[in-house]
Structure 1
């Protein structure tokens, strides 16, 4: 019977004939194969009877080779494993060139592995990361399904800019060398495929709002794109976003939902990905030892996740947070890279982490931000200068979730769009929601890769997505 490595290591099936297929991690002393098939962080040892195995086959058992093994699962005589496979027969599947295979059994830099992203999941670190990514994805869908949300696929190609950022990828079928021009000499997009200028979306939120106002509770979970020319460890040009939208829900309800959601999905991986988390935690601890004492994290990976799951999120107004930051020691002693001097400052990661890790010592939800640093669709408060926005701050990473109560008043929304030079004609359908059956509604956005970074402890966002898309890089 054919098994996975995970099944062989967890089920009581010793002294039975078994079959298994996988990839060779190492082969030592012409006798011991460390085999992995992706089902678990652990390898299983396969013991070859080299005296009765064809020498040509032995030469082809190399790191990276795919093999089909038949044998018997027995109790291990060596240290480090409870069971092993006594090999009766071994078949090499396909070709394998030991001299050219790049993922050799030694430590490789993450930069090198990104250059070999098609093979990097053969390593323990990246197989663990991608199993966790899969589990988090499932947990997200499970949470929303269990709580009465409908999954909505929002357009990837859009004619509107949801964030007002202007950093979008253009989608066009026009001749790049000789596009049609209008009377003013500008590109005539009326002759383009869609009859107007279109781009890859930066968010599915606006379209999700339209469905929330008929289905009640919806969410999107799909790819989004941003043409920001940023080569940092936290930016991708293509990434995935989770965006729930709920009708008849105010800002307080939005904060309740976001907190419950984050605790639920992180609890799921604590329950179902224990071995991967333990491996990644050890990797992170080893990495921390190479850093100066002042730069080391105060919490281990699993402690950080439990810090979120086990603590109530502290809710603090932006105004209160600014006062705390203005008067804190790092600000007064100019230890922050960005000194907080007055109300209205856009908080940086160092400020957010101070509030979470040093001041409140729990996850924090900041709310009621200045209107001029937030998006046009956020509900204006009665003071006329703040909006009903909220950000959730986590240890080690800062902002994790951003959301708001949406502006449901037609006249106020029109005024805000006018002030930002957003044409009403461009978003006529969005304004219609405020004309026909308008109601309080709210939602939030979560960058999936940022969540995966937090749950895996990986320091670069390029290492938590299968094939990263960044400036000057669209390989694979």
Structure 2
């Protein structure tokens, strides 16, 4: 059976093929029949739009047409003709239909009606066939392509950092352990602890939480690099914002300072969002309508004033607001939200870590635009961030987006060996195990910076979906590792 002769529906809809013979393949969305003709709406995943197939019962065997049900997969040969109905300029008049795969109407769960997202999460292996998830994953693809295009065009090098590592870049300790030891009867040391010397790597290892540290090593030779790969966090969080497995984009740049880092991050975000706007018009229009319908179910004071597409254009067309952490604390502490105790976590003093509600207040209520928040207290940030001259803050930055909160986190990295070593000792990070990281400061150190972007949060923002589990094909969350 030859599949390479088929024409994608997206291509059929973009060009005039009237009068040409064509072969299309795809899945049945709907079928309606009368005694003279059968109309089949078919979709092959290349576009959100279906293509209409007209089947004459005099040409197509009745037994074949009985097998044409919602969800069935078909191969259709025929001629492209002008459509007699509204909504589509052309359709295919079928000369033959082959059922590649049947779908029993009694058991196929995706019937031609609206299904809840909760239901679709239970059948993640089939939900990609729906309009909503087809649109989401085409947009996700476009964004991923745009990431590589942006950095390639800027002269960055793509680095594959290790999935298995012995370091915890975030220092949170919430890692998935990797071992080949018998968990029922592991070897023990004289002290009664697990003897990892007998493990595969002869040490404790885990799935990576970030490729940043290894990315820094590469930047010290290639100057500008980026990583784009899976990361893993063993946080037992059942929320709409957390995944145990997700994808991170992490550029690292030698010779960059904090300002350069902020400029790159803003330019990068605007580029990838612009790319989606230009290349995913049909999908974004569908998702825009879907988001508008979702807004009507919310309380009036919780509804967004902008539609999805308008919000994306607003981000692209406006400069991000840049403020320091200290300025943000003053704004939050003096806000009516804080004074009237509308925040779940009240902002009372300098030095507290900001919650998502605080970040969204700054973006959605105070500035009404994306915010770049800089110069955080060093005590709430990671050891590798460069200490500012005041001795209290570090050259960190977070980018905050409406509806999301933090979407990017980054900093100028600490390039001074003495400062870095002292900070690691203060945070009880064993310097002897990080000798390789410290070597980059011993030999030819230079100012450098970088940031991390959770790819799913970007997809969440661009698609207007409300739950991060709906923007990755097979979500990994506490209690769920199906497929």
Measured against the shorter chain, the TM-score band is over 0.9
Cα distance in 2 between the residues matched to 1:455 and 1:121: 18
Which of 201, 205, 224 pairs up with 1:198?
A: 205
Cα distance in 2 between the residues matched to 1:52 and 1:143: 51
Contact 2:78–2:92 (Cα < 8 Å) also in 1:
yes
1:14 is aligned to 2:18: yes
Cα distance in 1 between the residues matched to 2:340 and 2:19: 68
Q: Which residue of 2 aligns with 1:89?
A: 96
* Residue correspondences, number: 476
Q: CA deviation at 1:3?
A: 1.1
Q: CA deviation at 1:328?
A: 1.4
Tell me whether 436-445 or 294-303 shows the greater mean CA deviation.
Answer: 294-303
Q: Which residue of 1 aligns with 2:116?
A: 109
Q: TM-score, normalised by structure 1?
A: 0.98
Q: Which residue of 2 aligns with 1:4?
A: 8
Cα distance in 2 between the residues matched to 1:401 and 1:342: 24
1:263 is aligned to 2:267: no
Contact 2:374–2:396 (Cα < 8 Å) also in 1:
yes
CA RMSD, 1 decimal: 1.0
Cα distance in 1 between the residues matched to 2:206 and 2:17: 55
Q: Which residue of 2 aligns with 1:465?
A: 472
Q: CA deviation at 1:80?
A: 2.1
1:350 is aligned to 2:350: no
Unpaired stretches in structure 1, ≥5 consecutive residues: none
Q: Secondary structure at the match of 2:306?
A: coil
Q: Secondary structure at the match of 2:422?
A: helix
Q: Which residue of 1 aligns with 2:405?
A: 398
Q: CA deviation at 1:361?
A: 2.1
Q: Which residue of 2 aligns with 1:433?
A: 440
Contact 2:68–2:102 (Cα < 8 Å) also in 1:
no
Cα distance in 2 between the residues matched to 1:375 and 1:306: 33
Q: Secondary structure at the match of 2:469?
A: helix
Which of 126, 134, 145 pairs up with 1:138?
A: 145
1:244 is aligned to 2:248: no
Cα distance in 1 between the residues matched to 2:429 and 2:92: 67
Q: Which residue of 1 aligns with 2:192?
A: 185
Q: Which residue of 2 aligns with 1:229?
A: 236
Cα distance in 2 between the residues matched to 1:24 and 1:37: 9
Q: Which residue of 2 aligns with 1:121?
A: 128
How do 1:47-446 residues align onto structure 2 when only pairs under 5 Å count?
A: 47-446=54-453
Q: CA deviation at 1:186?
A: 0.2
Q: Secondary structure at the match of 2:350?
A: coil
Runs of 4+ residues over 3 Å off in structure 1: none
Q: CA deviation at 1:94?
A: 2.9
Q: Secondary structure at the match of 1:209?
A: helix
Cα distance in 2 between the residues matched to 1:2 and 1:351: 52
Q: CA deviation at 1:43?
A: 0.3
Q: Secondary structure at the match of 1:166?
A: coil
Cα distance in 2 between the residues matched to 1:45 and 1:114: 29
Unpaired stretches in structure 2, ≥5 consecutive residues: none
Q: CA deviation at 1:147?
A: 0.2
Tell me whether 181-190 or 112-121 shows the greater mean CA deviation.
Answer: 112-121
Q: TM-score, normalised by structure 2?
A: 0.97
Q: Secondary structure at the match of 2:97?
A: strand
Cα distance in 2 between the residues matched to 1:270 and 1:159: 40
Q: Which residue of 2 aligns with 1:34?
A: 41
Cα distance in 2 between the residues matched to 1:210 and 1:53: 64
Q: CA deviation at 1:244?
A: 0.2
Tell me whether 72-81 or 117-126 shows the greater mean CA deviation.
Answer: 72-81
